Amino acid sequence: MSTQPIPTHPSTSGQLANLVIIGAMKCGTSSLHRYLNLHPEIQMSKSKELDFFIKEKNWQRGLDWYQSHFTESAKVRGEASPNYTKHSIFRGVPERMHQIIPEAKLIYLVRDPIQRIVSHYLHNFIDRHELRSLPDALQNLESNHYLHCSLYYQQLQQFLTYYSPEQILVVSLETLAYDRLKTLRKIFQFLEVDSEFQHPDFFQIFHQSNQKKRLTHWGVRVVQLPSGGRLRKILPGLLEESIATPIVSEDLRQSLVQMLSNDIEQLKAFTQLPFAEWSV
C-alpha cells in the first residue's frame, strides 16, 4: 500500500471528521447533510463539500484547514463530498482518507442509476457545463463520466481496499425520500447516536433539479455585471428559461441497463438490499 504526502500535521486543538458522506452526486447528500446536522450529537461541517481528500482540489490546504471545520466537541463530526466517489476523475481519495481518518464511518447514498445519470446531466446542462443533448452525452458508454458515477459498486470497491464493510453504510435515496424516519433511525444506529431523535425539518427537501432554471445566453452575460445578481431577480423571465427533464429513449435505456446490470448485482450482494424501487 503506497502512501501519499500529508500536507501538514493536525494541531493539538480541535478534532477531525469521523463521518464522511462519500456520495453519490445527485443522490440527496445535501438533504442528508442537513438532517444529520439537526441531531444534537452530530456536527456537520458548515461548508458541505470540503473535497479535502481530492489532490486536485483542497488536499494541499493541509490538515489544519480541514480540522478547522470541526470545532465543536460533538460525538460525530462529519462532511459530505460527492466528488469522493468520482473515481474516473479523482484518483487516490480512499487512500488519503484512510491515512487521516482510518476509523471513520462512511455513508454512501445511491439512487436508481439511470435517474441519477439524467439528474447529473441536467445539473451540468443547467450550469452550461454541458452543451450536448442527453443522447450525445451518452453516446460513448465505454468511457463515460455520467455512467461511471452510477457504477456504485465499482466506486465502493475503491474504499473497500482501505475500509471494512462494517464501516460503510449504503442508503438509497428512495428509502430516504419515502420512509425518511425509518431510514434516519437506521443511520443514527449506524453512527451510534440517539436513534429516536426527531426534528420537524426532517421533512424538508433540498436542491431539487426541477426547481431550477437555466440562464439564457443573455442571462449569462448579464449576471457577470456588477449588478447581475439583482437583475436576475428582477427580470427572471428575460434571463432564465425553464428546462424540461430529458427523456431516455428505450434504445438508450437498454444500452445503459446492459452496462449497469453487473454492477447492480454486485451492489445488491454487498448490501443485501433489493433496491426494488429502481427501474433496472
CA quadruple 208, 154, 171, 187: dihedral sign:
negative
Phi-psi region of 240 (alpha: psi -120 to 50; beta: other; left: phi over 0): beta
> What is 93-161 written as a DSSP string?
HHHHHHHH-TT-EEEEEE--HHHHHHHHHHHHHHTTS--S-HHHHTS--TT-HHHHTT-HHHHHHHHHT
The one-letter amino acid code at 159 reads F
Q: Is the pLDDT of residue 76 over 90?
A: yes
Question: pLDDT tens digits for 266-277?
Answer: 999 999 999 999
On the question of a cis peptide bond just before residue 137, with omega within 30 degrees of 0, the verdict is no
At 244, the pLDDT band (50, 70, 90 cuts) reads: confident
Q: Is the pLDDT of residue 12 over 90?
A: no
Task: Taking residues 194-200, report their average pLDDT.
Answer: 96
Closest CA to 45 of 55, 26, 60, 58: 58
Copy the grid coordinates of residue 280.
433496472
Q: Is the pLDDT of residue 114 over 50?
A: yes
H/E stretch holding 261 reads helix 250-271
CA distance 49 to 173: 18
Copy the grid coordinates of residue 126.
443547467
Task: Taking residues 223-235, report their average pLDDT.
Answer: 68
26, 152, 17, 68: CA torsion to nearest 10: -50
At 13, the pLDDT band (50, 70, 90 cuts) reads: very low
Q: Is the pLDDT of residue 113 over 60?
A: yes
H/E stretch holding 76 reads strand 76-80
pLDDT the model gives residue 204:
81
pLDDT the model gives residue 259:
97
The separation between CA 40 and the C-alpha centre of its own chain, rounded to angstroms, equals 23
User: 109, 28 in Cβ contact below 8 A?
Assistant: yes
For β-strands 105-110 and 19-23, DSSP reports them as: parallel
Which CATH fold topology does 19-113+145-208+264-271 show? Rossmann fold (3.40.50)
Q: Is the pLDDT of residue 3 over 90?
A: no
186 vs 223: which has the higher pLDDT: 186
pLDDT the model gives residue 186:
98
At 34, the pLDDT band (50, 70, 90 cuts) reads: very high
Q: Is the pLDDT of residue 213 over 80?
A: no
> What is 161-195 written as a DSSP string?
TTS-GGGEEEEEHHHHHHSHHHHHHHHHHHHTS-T
pLDDT the model gives residue 2:
52
Intra-chain end-to-end CA distance of the chain, in Å: 36
pLDDT the model gives residue 209:
46
Q: Is the pLDDT of residue 10 over 60?
A: no
Average pLDDT, the chain: 90
Task: Taking residues 212-231, report their average pLDDT.
Answer: 68
231 vs 19: which has the higher pLDDT: 19
Task: Taking residues 156-179, report their average pLDDT.
Answer: 97
Q: In whole angstroms, how far apart are CA 12 and each of 9, 16, 67, 97, 217? A: 9, 11, 10, 19, 51
The one-letter amino acid code at 135 reads P
The one-letter amino acid code at 45 reads S
Residue with cell 475503491: 158
Residue with cell 446531466: 121
Q: Is the pLDDT of residue 59 over 80?
A: yes
